Chains A and B, each alone.
Chain A
Amino acid sequence: MDLTTLIFKTVFLIIILLVTLVVAMYSTYGERKVAAFMQDRRGPNRAGLFGLLQPLADGVKMFMKEEIIPLTANKKLFIIGPSIAMTTALLTGVVIPWGGTLTLGGHEFSLQIADLNIGILYVFAMVSIGVYGIMIGGWASNNKYALLGAIRAASQMISYELAMGMSIIALVLTTGSLSLHDIVAQQHGMHWNIFYQPLGFLIFLTCAFAETNRAPFDLPECETELIGGYHTEYSSMKLGFYLFAEYINMFISSAVIATLYFGGYNMPFIDELGFSANTVTLLGTAFFFLKIFSMIFLFMWIRWTLPRFRYDQLMNMGWKGLIPLGMFNIVATGIYYFFTELK
């Protein structure tokens, strides 16, 4: 890796980090607006134009709040919990291809920080470590509500990871690669994977909701039964980290869904328009973000439509519904490719 590439990667890394944080920040605003609109209200509209400064005000409030660590809590783990949640949430963005290649001054730069050949597995690994953030936080609080929330979170995430993995196996069968870069490259034009894997997409989407702890699968938080679940004892910015990590996770899973099933930065009819390579790349990135924001809207739309699942319903659906469906999907995809490849 030469110096220019190194500098470009560093700058790009910082940009992606900032974009992730800003998008997560404004997701909180978006969430409140969407919720308000769906309930015939207006939502935050006092801080700045249309309430656009509301996330900043919330951030300042979070920092100003009194920081409480319960006497009976395990202090080290209490601090490590939110740190893990935040770190793993931010790390996932590394493997996502945010765009094609830019040509600047004779150099070609790929708009992806690291093109791992096992990109999907890396995402899975990070999501799995994310469970530790919640588990450790719930355990360290030394509070029964927090522990219950943490146990629920762990069992839910582990159960739904299986079904998610199954939907991914079927996807890998069609694409033949684990690298996110290759998967996007194969979906050029309108060859989006959702048309080849509609069932897999549904399973993946459902699991994505469960993995990010969003309604209707927000049992770990469960405001009504568990007083906030795993973050009951948290206050100030440590609570902020947990809440923020959730929004970052939502952004990243929207990006992953857009990458895997909606062709990433690919636009339909882009070849016919005859733009220069750099314009195509930038347009593609813009289009990718459009897809991500639509996915985020879908996340919010679902949250403010559906009530929460009961715990046994959740487990039933995960183990008796999604996993058999995922297996069926793998077998069906396998049989299809077995016979088409033979010809």
Chain B
Amino acid sequence: MQSLTNRSVVASDKKMTILEWIYIPAIIKGMSITIRHFFRKKVTISYPEQKREFSKVYRGQHVLKRDDQGRERCTACGLCAVACPAEAITMVAAERKPGEEHLYREEKYAAIYEINMLRCIYCGDCEDACPKEAIFLTDRIVASQYERKPFIYGKDILVEPMDLRIDISARQTEAVHKFKSEKRFAHNK
């Protein structure tokens, strides 16, 4: 069988030579290795002060997008909840009342939209399933908590604030643009 790394050593139980038996050369060899590591540059990234650059398509905390006029895109169709393999998403739909047209894009909207961040596996299937381009995963990290309760994120956390729009343009790769240029998705513009 071919080895994966080409570094494997054939094990044998031959009698040790006298140099091997007195251990000392082997110990010195080992110590020279550790001392070289001692002065080597450390690879650690001191997290809160220093953040590592994420991939463009990193899948972190979700965002519920608004459209150009600041209306929520989500129509509570439930496709994301169906697509979710971890069953982390729940929602309650409601009908838009007259006079709320500036808040919600279509006649139906999500009155409650909750993602359990402890259940979520950050697969991004919700993003794939969404027909309205309403939910996206972002490069934000979900903060740690002391209790379980705060991990259930509601609309107050998920929907992007009007004055603090979340930029997801980096996620719009070539393939996404091609997909969106198809005529039958024109209604989402």
Binary flags per residue of A116-139, CB closer than 8 Å to B gives 1, else 0:
000000000000000000000000
Are B31 and A305 within 8 A (Cβ)? yes
Nearest-neighbour CB distance to chain B for A49, whole angstroms, equals: 14
Distance between A202 CB and nearest chain B CB, rounded to angstroms = 8
When distances are taken between beta carbons in the complex, the residues of chain A under 8 Å from B42 are 37, 40-42
Q: B188 contacts the other chain (Cβ, under 8 Å)?
A: no
Are B33 and A305 touching (Cβ within 8 A)?
yes
A: residues with CB less than 8 A from B are: 34, 37-42, 45, 202, 301-302, 304-306
Let me know if A38 and B37 touch, CB within 8 A: yes
- Does B38 have its Cβ within 8 Å of any Cβ on chain A? yes
Q: What number of residue pairs across chains A and B have CB atoms under 8 A from each other?
A: 35
Chain B residues in the interface with A (C-beta under 8 A): 24, 27, 30-31, 33-35, 37-40, 42-44, 46
Nearest opposing residue in chain A for B37, CB measure = A38
Q: Give the chain B neighbours of A37 by CB distance below 8 A.
A: 37-39, 42
Chain A residues, CB < 8 A from B31 = 301-302, 305
State in angstroms the CA–CA spacing of A306 and B44 once bound together: 24
Question: In the complex, what distance in Å separates the CA atom of A38 from the CA atom of B37?
Answer: 5
Q: In chain B, what residue has the closest Cβ to A313?
A: B23
Contact A42 B46 (CB under 8 A): yes
Give Cα A40–Cα B38 distance, bound, in whole angstroms: 7
Q: Chain B contacts of A306 at CB under 8 A? A: 27, 30
A residues in contact with B27, CB < 8 Å = 302, 305-306
Residue in A closest to B27 when the chains form the complex, CB atoms = A306
Contacts of B24 in A (CB 8 A): 202
Q: In the complex, which residue of chain B has the Cβ closest to the Cβ of A216?
A: B27
Alpha-carbon gap, A38 to B39, bound state (A): 8
Q: Which 4 A-B pairs have the closest CB atoms?
A: A305-B34, A38-B34, A305-B30, A42-B44
**Residues on A with beta carbons closer than 8 Å to the beta carbon of B40:** 40
- Smallest CB-CB separation from B30: which chain A residue? A305
**11 A-B residue pairings within 8 Å (CB atoms):** A37-B42, A38-B35, A39-B37, A40-B42, A41-B44, A42-B46, A301-B34, A301-B35, A302-B27, A305-B30, A305-B33
Shortest distance between the CB of B93 and any CB in chain A (Å): 47
| 16 other A-B residue contacts (CB within 8 Å) besides A40-B44, A305-B31, A306-B30 | A37-B38, A37-B39, A38-B35, A38-B37, A42-B42, A42-B44, A42-B46, A45-B46, A202-B24, A301-B31, A301-B35, A302-B27, A304-B34, A305-B27, A305-B30, A306-B27
In whole angstroms, how far apart are the Cα atoms of A305 and B30 in the complex? 6
* B residues in contact with A34, CB < 8 Å: 38
Distance (whole angstroms) from the CB of A340 to the closest CB of chain B: 28
Bound CA–CA A41/B37 (angstroms): 10
For the complex, give the distance between the alpha carbons of A301 and B24 in Å: 14
Provide the residues of chain A in CB contact with B39, threshold 8 Å. Answer: 37
